[in-house]
Amino acid sequence: MENTQAQPHFFAQWQIDKKVKPTDLVFTQALKSSVQQQLFEKAADLLCSLRPSFSEGIKTLELIAELILMGHAESLFETASSFEAYQNSLRALRYPHTTQNDATLKTKLENLPWPSQAKIKFERRGDRAGVEVKFFVSSGPDLTKVISALERVQTEIGK
């Protein structure tokens, strides 16, 4: 008797759970060969095992299709501890120059003389990269210190 284990079909279940319509996956029509389609299904299963939302899943599936069309194969199956980590690794494959530029900019921005106790978070929003800055002010002197520190940051950014 042959021992066959059922392969998980996370992608199929995700499509049911999220009520995905064929028109939501129209980009898969660009995958012409059976090898491309098999790569897509394998990567889609990996992605869907990480439980993305509908919109994030569709965007990432489209990214996977683009990467397959660009000739990527095994690099699509990097071990990912979370959806965000997997999505980031795919973006780095698809946009290597932007990823490198972002890493350089992140280092530069995070090393600026931000106000003490400020929380700095590097972000990419569409085609723009920058930092989100949060700080707490409880008095006029606190605000004066923050403004002074931000002016130092402005001077450093201008260099």
Tens-level pLDDT at each residue, the chain (159 residues): 444 444 568 999 999 999 999 999 999 999 999 999 999 999 999 999 999 999 999 999 999 999 999 998 878 887 778 999 999 899 999 999 998 999 999 999 989 999 888 899 999 888 899 999 999 999 999 999 999 999 999 998 887
Are 115 and 69 members of one domain?
no
Please state, in angstroms and rounded to a whole number, the distance separating the CA atoms of residues 102 and 104.
5
SS3 label, residue 92: helix
pLDDT, residue 12, reads: 94
Shared-domain flag, residues 90 and 30: yes
Query: In the prediction, which pLDDT does 52 show?
Result: 95
Residue 25 inside a domain? The answer is yes
Which residues make beta-bridge pairs with 125? 128
Q: Per the structure, how many domains does the chain have? A: 2
- Do residues 14 and 89 share a domain? yes
- pLDDT at site 4: 42
Residue 32 φ/ψ, nearest 5 degrees = -90, -40
Claim to verify: residue 137 and residue 67 sit in the same structural domain: no
The whole-angstrom separation of Cα 83 and Cα 61 is 12
Final residue in a domain of this structure, among 74, 94, 114: 94
User: 124 - beta bridge partners?
Assistant: 129
Extract the tokens encoding 74.
Answer: 């095994």
Assess whether 103 and 86 both reside in one domain. no
Q: Is 131 found in the same domain as 56?
A: no
* CA 37 and chain centroid, separation: 23
Residue 102 falls inside a structural domain = yes
- Domain identity same for 103 and 85: no
- In-domain check, residue 1: no
Specify whether 83 is located in the same domain as 134. no
Residue 125, judged by CB atoms within 10 A of its CB (0-12, 13-18, 19+), counts as exposed
pLDDT on residue 1: 41
User: By residue range, what is the domain housing residue 59?
Assistant: 10-94
Q: Measured on CA atoms in the order 79, 82, 88, 91, is the torsion positive or negative? A: positive
Does residue 56 lie in a domain region? yes
Q: Which residues of 133-147 are buried (b: 16+ CB within 10 A; e: fewer)?
A: eebeeeeeeeeebbe
